[in-house]
Amino acid sequence: MKIAYITYSGALKYAKANGFNENEDLLPFLRNRGFDITSEIWDDPQVDWTKYDVALLKTPWDYHQKFEQFDRWLDQLESINVKLLNDYKVVRWNMDKHYLQEVEQSGFEIIPSIFLTKGWKEDLSPFFAKLDTDKLILKPCISGGSRNTIVLDKHNTDRDSETVVKLLKEGDYIVQPMMSQIQDGEWSFIFLGGKYSHTIIKKPKEGDFRVQQIFGGTIEPISPDQRNIAEAEKYISKYAKDTLYARVDGLMVNGRFMLMELELVEPFLYLSYHPDAVDRYYAALKEKLDLFM
């Protein structure tokens, strides 16, 4: 079974940890374990996709910047019966943050969110009162890596309004309160083959809210209580039961887990932060491929 290991043409900016670099070492590891797997850039026009049986989404990290093209590419793969990991339905659902509305309507706790449609030109002020905060986070509904994510201040709405209106010309956005708990760290529960694997906490550098390493954030493994794992598992059971990989990101607020995002398209999986994670990834992939035989 021939597998396309899907990447993109940009830089892969996560560093090695504990002797393993997920972006450099996972592919040769899988080859050494017997998989017929080749790295391919998803939007490379020279690739003959008909020679592949499976496409494994690993780092197509610019899909949100080329969304319509990426969506057409998915259509192309599906039309020639290439299996996708994660599957097409899950990926399409998860690419747009409007999925959070469905999650909330199902009774899960999410970070309070207001959705703004493309072309919005109204007053920012009511959002601060509605979300009971002095600072807001504004981010695109289709985005990644904190791209076009900005902080809005209650006392500078006149200054910020022009920026917001300009951004809303590009697409839909989501508004959320700036959660003070982000300073305690964003929790990421990683699941492989639908089974819990490990958890890490990402913390922003002092004075920032972005937890990514490229912005100075830090990463550390943690052993959460079984109660917290069970909370994260509920999202998997509902929305990601048959996935190869899934990441449940959120904050602990007054002892309760509140979802920030479900990452089901192309998340970094922090495989180097648990000694068994790489083997668990291999086992989960083998199990999925066996189902395709």
CATH 3.30.470.20 residue ranges for the chain: 99-108+181-275
pLDDT at 155: 86
- Residue 134: how many CB atoms within 10 A of its CB? 12
Q: What is the DSSP string of 26-90?
A: HHHHHHHTT-EEEEEETT-TT--GGG-SEEEES--TTGGGGHHHHHHHHHHHHHTT-EEES-HHH
pLDDT at 242: 94
CA distance linking residue 211 with residue 213, whole number of Å: 6
| Token digits of residue 15 | 């560093």
Fold of the domain spanning 2-87+285-292: Rossmann fold (3.40.50)
Tokens 């009774």 belong to residue:
107
pLDDT at 208: 73
Q: What is the pTM of this model?
A: 0.94
pLDDT at 53: 98
pLDDT at 212: 72
Strands 150-153 and 135-140: antiparallel
Residues 6+ apart with CB under 8 A from 56: 3, 4, 5, 6, 37, 85, 244, 285
Question: Consecutive sets of 10 residues in the chain, 293 residues long: mean pLDDT of each?
Answer: 96 81 96 98 98 98 95 98 98 97 96 95 91 94 82 86 90 94 92 98 80 77 95 97 97 93 97 97 97 87
pLDDT at 217: 77
Cβ–Cβ under 8 Å, residues 146 and 215 = yes
What's 114-178's CATH class? alpha beta
Cβ–Cβ under 8 Å, residues 272 and 18 = yes
What's 99-108+181-275's CATH class? alpha beta
| Token digits of residue 134 | 């002095």
pLDDT at 261: 96
pLDDT at 290: 95
Q: How far is CA 246 from CA 1, 20, 76, 208, 242, in A?
A: 23, 20, 24, 26, 10
pLDDT at 16: 78
CATH 3.40.50 residue ranges for the chain: 2-87+285-292
